[in-house]
Structures are given as structure tokens and as C-alpha cells.
């Protein structure tokens, strides 16, 4: 992933230096376990740890790989250069490359998930704070982009909170499913390595042993992991799109923070563009690009092929780094977001009283008018508001058929805004608890 959309902590998980450090720990812990059960001499296992503070030379490993055409063998050769050829002769005994590669990949994914979980905690805190801040800030709800009925800005933030809270639970589940390791040898039968080795290595790395690995860890786990990241990305876009719509000039109910000295357009000095949320929409698309390849990786030939490998070398770092950046950016957008309550009320009143049409419809049916006739009565007055800029309540009060069914008082009370917000507290308790 390009530096523009990267944060250092997540990037470091995917650096070659971190990868080789994890490879070393897998091999060293495996040697310890082999020594524990008497498979290799204790002295050889202890000798491997001479490299525990070594900064592995990435360029040297690449140089060796240019000859061997095998990345794990290149690393093991470099490790022997530090440990000594004789001392290192039992390293990787009974293991296969996938034991190292797959276990390492899952360590990296679990570490990445931990960062993403922390990111989501911060986002949820920001959404919750803004939800309570604007719990009673009335705005018009829209369906199909058209005014529907009143809601509140707090409810808007609350529904995004609930969505992200579901995503957090999904991510924790995905992390649990991906946190497995395999040290099972060729085709996963443990023929040349004791299962106790796997158990020891997994314990040291914070993983659980894969119940059955066919030389590779089953890729349905990874498919579920990347699918979860894709869902989170879609939720990010959901929030970002709402902010972008709110910032439109003819709406302007909310907006991204515009800092001093910021420029919106190279050509038009008056512009304040929603560049952060537009950027989030684009980043969400790049994250979702990984979902289908991850699912296609589930199908491998027999016990193992490497058609999945090149895919994962790209989507592992790219999706986690991008999602980390996107979650951090969205949190900042929410924390600093500007809200314009006066514009919300002005927009709601643009078609005077029209958003109360359902209340009148229901009142007419309750007064004995058929639903079909009630709908016609309300709609014909509503169209005068749409077409001629009339006041909805005034038109209703002037309609003899409406007044014949409802008193003036009954009509007027249908325009009480509090009617639409009376259950906000109930919804908040459902979302945030007591």
C-alpha cells in the first residue's frame, strides 16, 4: 500500500524485517519443543536463540533467494550464517515451508486485527459521543433522497454506531477464526514431526493449533477474515456517503471540518469539498477488491498448491493497512464534523408541513374514511405544496372533505414535531444500553 494511505504501526506488521523475525521465532520455538521431547539435542535448540537479537539482513536473504528460488530456504541459509551450520542443522526438521509461511501469515493477521479492533473502539466512542450530543437535533429523514418524516441527527449517528458495533463483533470472531497455526509437516500428517511441536509453537505465538491442516491452513478461515474487512469497508462507505450528501450546498446539514489554510479547489476559491469522505468511498472499494480473491483461494489442488500465495502477499498488507487508515480517517471526520441544526429545520420546512402527511392519513382512516379515500384527500393537498408552494396545514384546513372528518384542533395537533421524536430515548437504550 502506498504511504499516502498508511499508518506506521500497521505497516510495520508487514515489513520484511517483522516477517523474518516471526519466521525465526517459529523455528526457534519448534527447536525448543523438539529438544523437550528428545528429538534434537538441547544444545542445538539453545544455539538457535543466538540469533534472537539479530537484525536479519533482508538484502542478503534476497541475494540467496535469487539463487535458491525459494524464500524459506533462503532465510534458513541466512539463519545458519548467524547460528553456525552445525548448530543449525536441526532447524526446520520435519517441517515444511507452509508451516512457517501459514503460521506467520496468521500471526500477522491477528496482530493486524488487534490494531483494527482498537481503531473500531475509537470510532465507536466518537459516534456515541456525537449521537448523544445531537440526540434531539431534529432533521428530516429521507427515503429515495426525498423528504420523508422527521428524525434526529442523534439517531443517524446511533444507527452508524450500531452498524459498527456489529462489525466489531464480526471482526473479533474473524480474529478468533484466523488465530490458528500449523506445524504439521508435509501434507499435514505429522509423519515427521510430533503434534506436540505444533502445540508448543502455537502457545508461544498466541495461536491455537489448526485441527487439521493439509500442509496449508484451510483458506475458508482467510476468506471469512477478508470478507469481514470488506463488510467493514462497506459500512465506512455508508457513513461517508451520508456525510457527503449532507455537505451538498443545497443541503448543508453537516460538513467535514475545513481547516485554516485548506483549499477546496485549484480553480474555484469558494469551494469546500468533502474530500475526506470521497477518499473513504474510494478506499472502501480497494478493500472490497480483496474479498473475491480471498474466497477463490479456498479452492486448492489436493493437499496444497500455491495459487493462493501471490494473492495473499498483496491482499494481506493492502487491505489491513488501508482499513486501518480508513477507520482512523473516519474517526477524525466524525469527531470534527460540523453540524448545522438551523439548516436542518430550514430544509424540513422547505415544503411547509409536508412531512406530516402520514399523520393526517392515519387520522382520517381512524375517523372512518377509507384508506383509499384518505390517501386521495391527503395527496391532493400535498401536491399543492409540491407544485404551487402552498402550506400543507392551510390547505388541509381549507379542504371541506378533510374538515368534515377532522376538527381544526385534530388537524393542527398532527403538526406536533414531538410526535416523531417521542421514542428516541427507547431507541438509544436499545443501541447503547441503559
Q: Is 397 helix (H, G, I), strand (E, B) or coil?
A: helix
d(CA 9, CA 53): 21
Burial class (CB in 10 A: 0-12, 13-18, 19+), 232: buried
235 is catalytic: no
Q: 358: which 3 cell numbers?
A: 402520514
| Other CB atoms within 10 Å distance of the CB of residue 334 | 23
Whether 254 and 243 have beta carbons less than 8 Å apart is answered as yes
- 370: left (phi > 0), else alpha (psi -120 to 50), else beta? beta
Residue 255, helix vs strand vs coil: strand
Annotated active-site residue in 265, 310, 370, 407: 265
CA–CA gap between residue 276 and residue 329 (Å, rounded)? 8
DSSP 140-190: EEEETTEEEEEEEHHHHHHHHHHHHHHHHHHHHHHHHHH-EE----GGG--
Residues 40 and 31: beta-carbon distance below 8 Å: yes
Catalytic residue (choose from 144, 259, 266, 270): 144
Q: Which sign does the torsion angle of CA 43, 209, 167, 101 carry?
A: positive
Sign of CA dihedral 380, 383, 387, 389: positive
CA 190 from chain centre, in angstroms, equals: 37
Task: Tell me the C-alpha distance between 94 and 73, whole Å.
Answer: 14
DSSP H helices, 218-337, are 220-247, 275-288, 291-296, 309-336
Q: Catalytic annotation on 144?
A: yes
DSSP states of 317-355:
HHHHHHHHHHHHHHHHHHHH-EE-HHHHHHHHTSSTTGG
Q: Which residues are catalytic?
A: 144, 265
Amino acid at each position: 500500500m502506498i504511504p499516502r494511505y498508511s499508518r506506521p504501526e500497521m505497516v510495520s506488521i508487514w515489513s520484511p524485517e517483522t516477517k523474518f523475525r516471526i519466521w525465526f521465532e517459529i523455528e526457534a520455538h519448534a527447536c525448543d519443543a523438539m529438544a523437550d521431547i528428545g528429538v534434537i539435542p538441547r544444545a542445538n535448540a539453545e544455539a538457535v536463540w543466538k540469533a534472537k537479537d539479530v537484525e536479519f539482513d533482508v538484502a542478503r536473504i534476497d541475494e540467496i533467494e535469487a539463487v535458491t528460488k525459494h524464500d524459506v530456504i533462503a532465510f534458513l541459509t541466512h539463519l545458519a550464517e548467524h547460528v553456525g551450520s552445525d548448530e543449525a542443522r536441526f532447524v526446520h526438521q520435519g517441517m515444511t515451508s507452509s508451516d512457517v509461511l501459514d503460521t506467520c501469515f496468521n500471526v500477522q493477521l491477528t496482530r493486524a486485527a488487534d490494531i483494527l479492533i482498537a481503531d473500531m473502539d475509537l470510532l465507536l466512542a466518537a459516534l456515541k459521543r456525537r449521537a448523544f450530543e445531537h440526540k434531539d437535533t431534529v432533521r428530516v429523514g429521507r427515503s429515495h433522497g426525498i423528504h420523508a418524516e422527521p428524525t434526529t441527527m442523534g439517531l443517524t449517528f446511533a444507527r452508524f454506531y450500531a452498524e459498527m458495533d456489529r462489525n466489531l463483533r464480526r471482526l473479533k470472531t474473524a480474529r478468533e477464526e484466523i488465530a490458528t497455526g500449523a506445524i504439521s509437516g508435509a501434507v499435514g500428517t505429522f509423519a515427521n514431526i510430533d503434534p506436540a511441536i505444533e502445540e508448543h509453537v502455537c502457545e508461544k505465538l498466541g495461536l491455537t493449533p489448526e485441527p487439521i491442516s493439509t500442509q496449508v491452513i484451510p483458506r475458508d478461515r482467510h476468506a471469512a477474515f477478508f470478507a469481514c474487512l470488506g463488510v467493514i469497508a462497506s459500512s465506512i462507505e455508508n457513513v461517508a456517503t451520508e456525510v457527503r450528501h449532507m455537505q451538498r450546498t443545497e443541503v448543508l446539514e453537516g460538513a467535514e471540518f475545513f481547516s485554516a489554510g485548506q483549499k477546496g479547489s485549484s480553480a474555484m476559491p469558494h469551494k469546500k469539498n468533502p474530500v475526506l469522505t470521497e477518499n473513504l468511498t474510494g478506499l472502501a472499494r480497494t478493500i472490497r477488491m480483496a474479498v473475491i480473491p480471498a474466497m477463490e483461494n479456498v479452492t486448492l489442488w489436493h493437499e496444497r498448491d500455491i495459487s493462493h500465495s501471490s494473492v495473499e502477499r498483496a491482499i494481506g498488507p493492502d487491505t489491513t493497512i488501508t482499513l486501518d487508515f480508513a477507520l482512523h480517517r473516519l474517526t477524525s471526520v466524525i469527531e470534527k464534523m460540523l453540524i448545522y441544526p438551523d439548516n436542518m429545520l430550514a430544509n424540513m420546512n422547505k415544503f411547509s408541513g409536508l412531512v406530516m402527511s402520514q399523520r393526517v392519513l392515519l387520522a382520517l382512516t381512524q375517523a372512518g374514511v377509507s384508506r383509499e379515500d384518505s390517501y386521495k384527500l391527503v395527496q391532493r393537498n400535498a401536491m399543492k405544496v409540491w407544485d404551487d408552494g402552498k402550506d400543507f396545514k392551510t390547505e388541509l384546513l381549507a379542504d371541506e372533505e378533510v374538515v368534515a372528518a377532522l376538527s381544526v384542533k385534530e388537524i393542527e395537533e398532527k403538526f406536533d414535531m414531538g410526535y416523531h421524536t417521542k421514542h428516541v430515548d427507547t431507541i438509544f437504550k436499545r443501541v447503547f444500553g441503559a
